[in-house]
Amino acid sequence: MTVSTEQHDLRHLPATPARIMVVDGSKLVRKLIADVLVRELAGVEVVACESVAQAREALANGPVDLVTTAIGLPDGDGIALAHTVREAAGQKYVPIIVVSGDAQSHLESRTFGEDVTDYFDKALGHVALAAFIRGYVHPEPIPGARVLYVEDSKVVAVATKRMLERHGLKVLHFIGVEEALLHFDAHRGQDDVGADLVLTDVYLKGELSGHDLLGRLRVQFGYGKRRLPILVMTGDANPQNQSELLRAGANDLVLKPIEERLLVTKTLFQLRLSRLEHTPA
């Protein structure tokens, strides 16, 4: 496993006012995303587009710093639009986020492709969407949040642990699945399950793998995706193997080599989403 220590921060917006393109056939969704961006980023220019044609015009008028797009658009496909953004003249590499009610099925089938850097499922609701966008453009720590981290490589564990701790997260590191399960077993039946999120590598030296840990926590312990979010780290580029992890209950995958901003963005979002669902109205 490799951890990238270089600051290839694909999710970091420029210090100068950003130009962000929001593409969605729904006026409500466009307004919701635009309102969050304007509130969180001083001087941001939001370019709201209803269609692929409008998005192409926006790209012709100058580069953008971030793109959100629906999958189904009135005159085309958001995945194809993502590729258009990548190929646009003078356009640097920027985050492209798919916002769709079909995001989970596309994620499981691994059909997003390399042009899409992240996704949000509309089924999670507008409050969660606002939290997602806010966390993307203005990430804030979650004091006291505990990440149970399973990794048997000392070098990788130290580097990844430092990444998470730099953002205010408390990391409980275990070298194997067996030790992690003992920790959860000691908290069985309690309101506090023993961690707020699990981060695990797939391939480990012990008898049990990260896939086994995922199965035990989802089936044997009965912890759902919101009660205990699980992120799985994998360097396996096989779409079928990635799909199996997602269908087995992984909230999301973190592909290797690991980049700090990507790891932290995914971790904080899953923690924030879990807390949203467990906070009384």
Q: What is the mean pLDDT of residues 249-254?
A: 89
Whether 19-137 and 146-277 share one fold: the answer is yes
pLDDT digits (tens, 9 = 90+) for 38-89: 887 778 899 999 999 999 999 999 999 889 999 999 999 898 899 999 888 8
**pLDDT score at 57:** 94
Given this model, what pLDDT does residue 276 score?
A: 66
pLDDT score for 121: 83
Q: Is residue 8 predicted with pLDDT exceeding 50?
A: no
Q: Regarding predicted confidence, which is higher, 129 or 8?
A: 129
CATH of 146-277, one of 3.40.50.720, 1.10.10.10, 1.20.1600.10, 3.40.50.2300: 3.40.50.2300
* pTM score, whole prediction: 0.71
Query: Per residue in 182-226, pLDDT tens?
Result: 999 999 999 999 999 999 999 998 899 999 999 999 999 999 998
Considering the domain 19-137 in this protein, what is its CATH number? 3.40.50.2300
Average pLDDT, the chain: 85
Pairing of strands 96-100, 72-73: unpaired
Pairing state between β 66-69 and 146-150? unpaired
Show me where the domains of the chain are located: 19-137, 146-277
Q: What mean pLDDT do residues 104-122 have?
A: 75
